[in-house]
Amino acid sequence: MPNSERSDGRRFDREYAVTTQAILFLSDLDPDDVGDAGYHATHYEGVPVADFRALLALVPADAIAKSTFVDVGAGMGRALILASELPFRQVVGVEVSASLYEVARENLETAQCPLRRCNDVRIVRADARMWTYPPGDLVVFLYNPFDASALEIALGAISSRRRNGATWLIYHTPVHREIIESDNRFRIAAEISCGSVYVCDEPPSD
């Protein structure tokens, strides 16, 4: 991680009075607890603040106002806190690690966030591959949480949710982008150096 990102992360923690700046491996945190998810997971690292804001700026304002934001692999909750500064209907994080989930829960309770525009912010402890994604329009954020096979399963769960609406996928560090790009329901909407934004405008399925 470049020094500038590390110091931006520390600044974020000071300003919001939280703890999110760390690099941690699930195998060191919860090896017995996360089961098979641990084999497919990347490490924990908070999203670079400027990258998150730049990627979210690529999603149209009317889509944000209609959508639930889902952070797939929410870690310590940095992206959830940043997303709560936008007028989403709801902000939800899914995290498989019990230790990271606990830190995120505490961070969400204590964060100083004067620019908050969404007050319904939650975190659940679950495996994002098997989770039941919320119905309706979604903006799904992935900061490279896992490998290609896990991404494919999670994409299936996202696409088959009840009362399917539009799905925006924001993929930071899109190392397995071929999984999304080979699914012809998704088209690329925008791209910057740190990541890609995809959209699926599929009409409601029920």
Ligand X SMILES: C[S@@+](CC[C@H](N)C(=O)[O-])C[C@H]1O[C@@H](n2cnc3c(N)ncnc32)[C@H](O)[C@@H]1O
**Residues in contact with ligand X by the rule CB under 6 A:** 26, 37, 41-42, 44-47, 71, 73-75, 78-79, 94-97, 100, 127-129, 143-146, 150
Q: How far apart are CA 82 and CA 49, in angstroms?
A: 8
Least distance CB 206 / ligand X (angstroms): 26
Three-state secondary-structure class, residue 29:
helix
- Output 132 or 205, the one with its CB closest to ligand X: 132
Where in the chain does DSSP place strands (E)? Answer: 23-24, 44-45, 68-72, 90-95, 121-125, 136-143, 164-172, 187-192, 195-200
Whose Cβ is closer to ligand X: residue 130's or residue 204's?
A: 130
Q: Which residue is nearest to ligand X (CB)?
A: 73
Q: How far is the CB of 131 from ligand X (least distance, A)?
A: 7
Distance from C-alpha of 21 to C-alpha of 17, rounded to nearest angstrom: 12
Residue nearer to ligand X on the CB measure, 74 or 92: 74
The residue among 41 and 64 lying less far from ligand X, judged by its C-beta, is: 41
Q: Where are the alpha helices (DSSP H) in 17-147?
A: 26-29, 37-40, 49-56, 61-66, 78-83, 98-110
Q: Are 109 and 179 in contact (CB under 8 A)?
A: no
Q: What is the DSSP letter of 165?
A: E
Tokens of 179: 């999984």
Of 62 and 145, CB closest to ligand X? 145
